[in-house]
């Protein structure tokens, strides 16, 4: 062997030249394999309008990602950490779900931090992020809107109150919430977290309100005319506010015009599903709006999909009483909380 060939042989040995694929390709394959994990499927998709086909593929199936919860609610996709957070209200807990780890307990207590035993659905309900990426919770048991000030990846049951009273009277049990682009907080306040609901002796407000907390922390009542205000969401340009009313006697979604001063006006029924309550599980509850203005609203039967004009495009039938839903970051998936389940549906 010549000296040059000897040196080349040494280089091969030292640097381990092989025919294996580069490591980054292997990592990519592993990630793709994880995303192809198979989950049980359930339910069906009822198509009421051909426009539904542009939103959900004809062969799309509803996946069950996790189960075993008492009443799942408040799904929130956290893109930075590729995790779904959601409340399990009666056990006063929040869980997280990831593709790699499945379901794991994230935080407890989540909605009631008191020491005295009390009835009712005491846990957190809706979960949202503020502009700084901090977790904001609708806390049934503590009857307030609160913020967890530690990083979302390092949960701790220490909370800052954002709002707990209106005109000196405690809220019932904040249920769902959303921020507008100005950083104002909007939320609904039905009585579901009180042990005896509207007849609970600790109830201080004599109505169920929709509220706005402005950036200075002042609370404003938007309306007290709904019997069970529940889910709420803005249109993409924030000119409209949609509010669900989860009253079986008046199972409707309302739409309001947003005013410059943050108030609402010209309320009208967006869709009335009262006649569906007797034959389908569930009531109007949480909702989300896509970039085109289509509304994905949980209600009798599952998740209703409406055009911006209030035309029903279809119904994602979950087979369960369905509480809420959330998009992932690019809106290619819809996560759904339905009774004891966490579900996912691929979107176009």
In the prediction, which pLDDT does 273 show?
A: 98
Q: What band does 37 get if pLDDT is binned at 50, 70 and 90?
A: confident
pLDDT at 305: 98
4 secondary structure, DSSP code? H
Of 283, 274, 279, 311, nearest to 295 by C-alpha is 311
CATH 2.120.10.30, domain 69-224, yes or no: yes
| Section 154-177 average pLDDT | 98
Q: How confident is the model at residue 185 (pLDDT cuts 50, 70, 90)?
A: very high
Q: Please report, rounded to a whole number, the percentage of residues in the chain having pLDDT higher than 90.
A: 88
Q: For residue 304, report the phi and psi dihedrals to the nearest 5 degrees.
A: -85, 145
CB atoms within 10 A of CB 195: 14
Of 15-19, 73-77, 111-115, 177-181, give the lowest mean pLDDT range.
Answer: 15-19
pTM of the model: 0.89
Q: Which CATH architecture has domain 39-62+240-348?
A: 6 Propeller (2.120)
What was the pLDDT predicted at 29?
41
pLDDT digits (tens, 9 = 90+) for 236-287: 999 999 999 999 999 999 999 999 999 999 999 999 999 999 999 999 999 9
DSSP lists the bridge partners of residue 176 as none
Domain range summary for the chain, segments of one domain joined by +:
39-62+240-348, 69-224
pLDDT band at 18 (very low <50, low <70, confident <90, very high): very low
Residue with tokens 């690019």, as numbered in its chain: 330
Check: CB of residue 193 under 8 Å from CB of residue 173.
yes
The candidate with the shortest Cα–Cα distance to 129, out of 195, 80, 199, is 80
Tell me whether the CATH fold assigned to 39-62+240-348 matches the one assigned to 69-224.
yes
Asked if residue 248 lies in contact with residue 268, where contact means CB atoms within 8 angstroms, the answer is no
For residues 244 and 230, the answer to whether their CB atoms sit within 8 Å is yes
Q: Is 139 within 8 Å of 112 (Cβ atoms)? A: yes
- Distances 85 to 82, 131, 232, 284 between C-alpha atoms, Å: 10, 17, 19, 21
Task: Give the integer Cα–Cα distance in Å for 114 and 117.
Answer: 8
């Amino acid at each position: 062997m010549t000296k040059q060939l000897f040196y080349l042989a040494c280089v091969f040995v030292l640097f381990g030249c092989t025919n294996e694929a580069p490591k980054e390709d292997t990592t990519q394959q592993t990630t793709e394999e994880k995303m192809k994990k198979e989950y049980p499927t359930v339910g069906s998709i009822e198509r009421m309008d051909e426009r539904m086909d542009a939103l959900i593929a004809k062969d799309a199936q509803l996946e069950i990602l996790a189960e075993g919860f008492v009443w799942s609610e408040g799904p929130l996709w956290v893109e930075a950490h590729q995790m779904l957070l959601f409340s399990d209200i009666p056990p006063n807990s929040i869980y997280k779900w990831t593709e790699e780890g499945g379901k794991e307990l994230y935080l407890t207590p989540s909605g009631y931090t008191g020491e005295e035993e009390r009835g009712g659905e005491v846990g957190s309900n809706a979960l949202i992020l503020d502009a700084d990426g901090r977790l904001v919770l609708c806390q049934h048991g503590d009857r307030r809107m609160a913020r967890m000030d530690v990083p979302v990846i390092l949960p701790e049951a220490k909370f800052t109150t954002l709002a707990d009273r209106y005109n000196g009277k405690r809220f019932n049990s904040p249920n769902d919430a959303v921020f507008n682009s100005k950083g104002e907080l909007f939320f609904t306040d039905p009585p579901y977290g009180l042990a005896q609901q509207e007849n609970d002796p600790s109830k201080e407000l004599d109505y169920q309100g929709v509220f706005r907390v402005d950036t200075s922390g002042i609370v404003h009542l938007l309306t007290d005319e709904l019997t069970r205000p529940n889910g709420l969401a803005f249109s993409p340009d924030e000119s409209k506010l949609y509010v669900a009313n989860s009253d079986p006697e008046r199972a409707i979604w309302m739409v309001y015009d947003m005013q410059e001063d943050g108030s609402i006006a010209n309320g009208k029924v967006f869709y009335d599903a009262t006649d569906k309550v007797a034959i389908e599980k569930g009531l109007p509850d949480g909702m989300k709006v896509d970039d085109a203005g289509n509304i994905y609203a949980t209600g009798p039967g599952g998740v209703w999909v409406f055009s911006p004009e209030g035309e029903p495009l279809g119904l994602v039938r979950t087979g369960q009483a369905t509480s809420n839903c959330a998009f992932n970051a690019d809106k290619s998936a819809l996560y759904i909380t339905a009774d004891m389940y966490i579900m996912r549906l691929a979107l176009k």
